[in-house]
Structure 1
Amino acid sequence: MGFARLVRTHGLRRLLAVRFATQWADGVFQAALGGAVLFNPERQADPLAVAAGLAVLLLPYSLIGPFAGALLDRWDRKRVLMAANVVRAALIVVVAATVFTGVSGPGLYLAALAVAGVSRFVNSGLSVALPHVVPRRHLVEANTFAVTVGAGMAALGGASAIGIRALVGPDDTGSAITTLVAVVGSLLAAALAAGFGRGSLGPDRTDLGSRTAVTVLHGLADGVRATAATPSVAASFLALAAHRLSIGITTLLSLLLFRYAFTDSGLFRAGLAGIGEAVLLGAAGLGVAALLTPWMVRRWGRPRTIRTALVVATVTQVALALLLSAPAVLAAAFVLGATGQIVKLCTDAAVQSEAGDGFLGRVFALYDIVFNVGYVLAVAVAALLSPPDGYAPWLLGAAAALYLLGLLAHDQQLRRTSKA
């Protein structure tokens, strides 16, 4: 069965629709919240405020992850997708009301934390459900398409939020209206998920005995053991961790540079418009990765594909540190979007094809920790060390060094396979 024909199958097509609606809503919500915190004339933002906003959006994935992963290995994933999207829609309304009333600091962050925490169930549920609608021999192609177009939908959601914000205004009222638009995507995703049959998305087997609560509490440990047992998966995780640490530093500095250091110059814009250009170029990089990754994996295999991506990312970070300007940041957004997505797609394929279905939820919980905690830690450290305007070439040099460390760790971990 060719992939073009595969996409026309009912199960995959519906799951993709749920993912696209969900990630469009994520993009709208994140861009609206970012605009409210960073580019709102009624609020002032310093590096630590920016870091706090990014942490709010991502940290719940890791705090809740071990428990949600175990629950996804027990609960009907169709019901998870439906219920979580409905709850998220209600919580987005709460965040919009919070922004509208001018609340900032802990009040705003707690409301946004609730949205991000529920989103963790949705996104992880989509990942672990994919093997139930796609034959394993097509997982790489299906995952590449789903993740790449899903990321593109998130970028489109972010661009939509920027456009809506330009129409309704950048103040608290306009930010609240923009935030509220994300409700549409969440409710659409819930409606689409309702079309799946009960149990059709797994899990295949469940153990609902007296040890369920204990298993939930040990979900992270289960994920660590399942990952460590497969060197190729562990190696991919280490490479992904290096990328997320590096891109966390670059993201924080880029946001500050567009906010405070860069000025409009021809096609290159400052402020939120410049961030929008960077997001679109990053999304274009994701598209290139979608085309390159299957070909690279078939030709070279996953390990060499990951190594190539890490080397290119290292060179890009060094060039960015030396040529720190708006054009350089935009070019780096494209290249790092492509290389980072190549690493992620290879990691997704390793998990989905080599981890057993009974552990998928817990392995993806660990995946979320690698993906998000590393990013948040890097953002926090960069916020503490960066000047207020974000002009810190030496921090970008440190980001390049992280890619090199990831390359070494990846190779070292794969040696376990050769010795086995």
Structure 2
Amino acid sequence: MSLALGRAGRSTATGTKRAGLATARGTRRVGLATASGAQRVGHATRRLTHAQGAGRTGLGRLIELTAANSAGDSLITLALAGTIFFGLPVNEARGQVALYLLITMIPFAVVAPFVGPVLDRFRSGRRYVMAGTLFARGLLCFAMAAAVGPGDVLTLFAGALGVLVLSKAYNVSRAAIMPSVLPADITLVSANARVALFSLVAAGIAVPIAAGLTAWLGAAWVLRLAMVVFLLLGVFAVRLPRHVDSPDLEEEDERGERARWRTLLNVGPAVTEAMRANAAIRLFSGFLLFFLLFLVQDGHLKDLPTTTTIAMLAAAAGLGGLAGAAVANWARNHSPQLIVLLTLAVSLVTAGVTAFLFGLWAAVAVALIAAFAQELGKLALDAIVQREIGEEVRSSTFGVVEALLQVAWVFGGLVGLLVSDWSAGPGGLTAMAVVLALALGSLLVLRRARVKARDAKVQAKVNDARNDARTTDVAVVEVADPPPAPTTTKPLTNPHG
């Protein structure tokens, strides 16, 4: 009996050992396969980001840096969303969200005139400015992670605001240096679209990972992970090519110094038109986000569970952004001004149709098309600014652009927040369609007046040139040699002599 038990024990031990070895080998194979797959994906991504000379000029590194930056922002967004917004009752969440929107709008309205000029001052150290925004966001993530446990809402709001401002500062610096890393075979619209595409893909990959980590480990650990990501990205930013930094001008006259302080009135007609159109689109986007979110939370869209509906709307917005970046890359040879007006027109038509056919699938469609219009219009606006504005004041102009769009988005969000409390859907979208129609109509009227003024000015120059030509012809005739005077022939002899 004991011998049989001993044999059974040895057999069990041997089987357990073999099973352990088999499990270890299987785990090792899975790990090696995963590492090999990740390496292949990394090589494929590097080939895409460095294509068409982008690796030689530094555009490829900038694309990778911005994509990772977008993934880090997604980690923060998911962590804060689980902490601040969806963890509260609907009525209480409305107050918290409204407070957050106001907190984000006021500093942008006050600080915006100063962000751009400061960045223009440090053109010779743009790599370090970008790295500074990344390092600072890492530190803010550490502070917010410490505030999650005690539920320190004030620290979370202040940290979120700081992250938002620093993220906008990074985007301003990134957009300002784009022409300096542009390969000869890529246009500005195409380069901006390539950056946006990889950023959206990175964010789309990071969102489910962040959601899973938030559910598993909690928001504090996700914020700590974001801290590590941003600190590593800061080191990567310092290693960008040196030609990203522009030499400072040794002499600047008083007029050039005043030109640093950009406003909506002194950026030129093309940039002003694109900014106003994008502000209207961003107003519509902010309205939709909070309007649809609280309609779902209030139970007005009951076709599917709340979580599923929100996931569908988020997925539609992500796909719309990807489609906008892809179309921008395809439309690289078309006029950016025309693209901006078309995106506003598409937003108007979509709002009107959705108001008439409101429901779950109409809400998904409007979320997709609004994200498409926002992405495409912003990429066209960036290309217009990069083309029309000189490098010495480009950051200042982008500062004004980001501030205007942020204020428009916040204002739209506040309107959507208020309208969602009394409108079940069609009424709010109809009102927004009227606002978009007024915006598009005013832009078309102003554009027509500007084109007429330009044509009149050109015609006046042509008439002046013709008059100058006629005056020159008359003058030539007047100064020409006069005809020879008649001569008298003197007789050879005197007939009376």
Aligned amino acid, residue 338 of structure 1:
F
Asked whether 1:84 is paired with 2:133, we answer yes
Would the aligned equivalents of 1:309 and 1:339 in 2 still touch at CA under 8 Å? yes
Asked whether 1:52 is paired with 2:99, we answer yes
Which residue in 2 is equivalent to 1:224? 264
Match of 2:394 among 360, 363, 369: 360
The 5 Å alignment of 1:97-116 reads 97-104=146-153, 106-116=154-164
Distance (Å, rounded) in 1 between the aligned partners of 2:435 and 2:300: 26
Residue 196 of structure 1 aligns to a residue whose secondary structure is coil
Deviations 1:38-86 (A, max 9, x none): 1115997332322333455566555433222111111111001112211
Q: Is 58-67 or 157-166 further displaced after alignment?
A: 58-67
Which residue in 2 is equivalent to 1:251? 289
Asked whether 1:306 is paired with 2:340, we answer yes
Would the aligned equivalents of 1:18 and 1:190 in 2 still touch at CA under 8 Å? no
Which residue in 2 is equivalent to 1:171? none
Distance (Å, rounded) in 1 between the aligned partners of 2:376 and 2:137: 30
Deviation at 1:203, TM superposition (A): 3.5
Aligned amino acid, residue 222 of structure 2:
T
Distance (Å, rounded) in 1 between the aligned partners of 2:277 and 2:229: 32
Asked whether 1:140 is paired with 2:189, we answer yes
Deviations 1:105-164 (A, max 9, x none): x34312322222222322211111111111476211101111233234334433332222
Deviation at 1:393, TM superposition (A): 2.7
CA 1:235 to 1:47, structure 2 compared with 1: closer, same or farther past 3 Å? Answer: same
Which residue in 2 is equivalent to 1:151? 200
Distance (Å, rounded) in 1 between the aligned partners of 2:305 and 2:232: 34
Q: Mark the runs of 5 or more structure 2 residues left unpaired by the alignment.
A: 1-48, 455-497
Asked whether 1:370 is paired with 2:419, we answer no
Aligned amino acid, residue 309 of structure 1:
T
Residue 333 of structure 2 aligns to a residue whose secondary structure is helix
Deviation at 1:101, TM superposition (A): 1.2
Distance (Å, rounded) in 2 between the aligned partners of 1:197 and 1:51: 42
Aligned amino acid, residue 140 of structure 1:
V
Aligned amino acid, residue 414 of structure 1:
R
Which residue in 2 is equivalent to 1:406? 439
Aligned amino acid, residue 397 of structure 2:
V
Deviation at 1:287, TM superposition (A): 1.9
Match of 1:278 among 307, 313, 320: 313
Would the aligned equivalents of 2:260 and 2:393 in 1 still touch at CA under 8 Å? no
Match of 1:348 among 371, 374, 382: 382
Asked whether 1:65 is paired with 2:112, we answer yes
Aligned amino acid, residue 255 of structure 1:
L
TM (norm. structure 1) is: 0.85
Would the aligned equivalents of 1:262 and 1:270 in 2 still touch at CA under 8 Å? no
Which residue in 1 is equivalent to 2:426? 393
Percent of aligned pairs with the same residue? 25
Would the aligned equivalents of 2:344 and 2:440 in 1 still touch at CA under 8 Å? yes
Cα-Cα RMSD: 3.0
Distance (Å, rounded) in 1 between the aligned partners of 2:210 and 2:50: 32
Distance (Å, rounded) in 2 between the aligned partners of 1:162 and 1:325: 27
Deviation at 1:246, TM superposition (A): 1.3
Asked whether 1:332 is paired with 2:366, we answer yes
CA 1:219 to 1:49, structure 2 compared with 1: closer, same or farther past 3 Å? Answer: farther
Distance (Å, rounded) in 2 between the aligned partners of 1:5 and 1:210: 39
Aligned amino acid, residue 259 of structure 1:
Q
Which residue in 1 is equivalent to 2:467? none
Would the aligned equivalents of 2:190 and 2:328 in 1 still touch at CA under 8 Å? no
CA 1:115 to 1:59, structure 2 compared with 1: closer, same or farther past 3 Å? Answer: farther
Would the aligned equivalents of 1:29 and 1:179 in 2 still touch at CA under 8 Å? yes
Asked whether 1:181 is paired with 2:225, we answer yes
Which residue in 1 is equivalent to 2:465? none
CA 1:325 to 1:207, structure 2 compared with 1: closer, same or farther past 3 Å? Answer: farther
Would the aligned equivalents of 2:69 and 2:230 in 1 still touch at CA under 8 Å? yes
Asked whether 1:36 is paired with 2:89, we answer no
Residue 212 of structure 2 aligns to a residue whose secondary structure is helix
Q: How many residues align?
A: 401
Asked whether 1:161 is paired with 2:210, we answer yes
Deviation at 1:186, TM superposition (A): 1.3
Aligned amino acid, residue 222 of structure 1:
R
Distance (Å, rounded) in 1 between the aligned partners of 2:259 and 2:434: 32
Aligned amino acid, residue 262 of structure 2:
D
Residue 324 of structure 1 aligns to a residue whose secondary structure is coil
Match of 1:27 among 63, 71, 74: 74
Residue 298 of structure 1 aligns to a residue whose secondary structure is coil
Aligned amino acid, residue 256 of structure 1:
F
CA 1:35 to 1:260, structure 2 compared with 1: closer, same or farther past 3 Å? Answer: farther
Q: Mark the runs of 5 or more structure 1 residues left unpaired by the alignment.
A: 169-173
Aligned amino acid, residue 48 of structure 1:
G
Deviations 1:333-385 (A, max 9, x none): 11111122221111111001111111111100110122100111122233334
Deviations 1:223-252 (A, max 9, x none): 43541xx21111111110110111111111
Residue 391 of structure 1 aligns to a residue whose secondary structure is coil
TM (norm. structure 2) is: 0.73
CA 1:226 to 1:337, structure 2 compared with 1: closer, same or farther past 3 Å? Answer: same
CA 1:404 to 1:9, structure 2 compared with 1: closer, same or farther past 3 Å? Answer: farther
Structure possessing the higher relative contact order (Cα contacts under 8 Å, 6 or more residues apart): 1
| Larger Cα-atom Rg | 2
